Amino acid sequence: MLRLSFWQTRNSIVRGKSGSVESLRVITYAHDLVIILASIVVSPVAAFSGSALTSKIGSLPVSKRKALIVVSAFVLGGGICCMHFIDMKGMRGVIPIFSS
């Protein structure tokens, strides 16, 4: 598995309001590069599908035009949603995340 590490674990010293010293731990995570690339492929496919649905919309009657705009909006929204959840599936962190 290819991993891209954006953050590394570190302990930082922070002064509190009362002057006390507290330790702050940063949550670490990495992304699986293959899943990120799959997410990047989903986005243009959804954009192309949504725009292809509305390419000949000018010659249609008003009722079919409105229906096609709604379908195109759902295709674009579904593509954005899929891209987000595929991306989140590729995130690996120290806190376990489960999906059913």
pTM over 0.75: no
Q: Please, what's the b/e burial string for 36-65 (b: 16 or more CB within 10 A of its CB; e: otherwise)? A: beebeebbeebeeebeebbeeeeeeeeeee
In a domain, 45, yes or no: yes
In a domain, 60, yes or no: yes
Domain that holds residue 39: 3-91
What average pLDDT does this structure show over 25-53? 85
What average pLDDT does this structure show over 55-60? 88
**Residue type for 67, please?**
A
In a domain, 86, yes or no: yes
In a domain, 98, yes or no: no
Grade residue 99 by pLDDT with cuts at 50, 70 and 90.
Answer: low
Tell whether the model's pLDDT for residue 57 goes beyond 60: yes
pLDDT for the residue numbered 97: 67
- Total domains in the fold of the chain: 1
In a domain, 49, yes or no: yes
Tell whether the model's pLDDT for residue 3 goes beyond 70: no
In a domain, 96, yes or no: no
In a domain, 83, yes or no: yes
pLDDT for the residue numbered 19: 52
In a domain, 100, yes or no: no
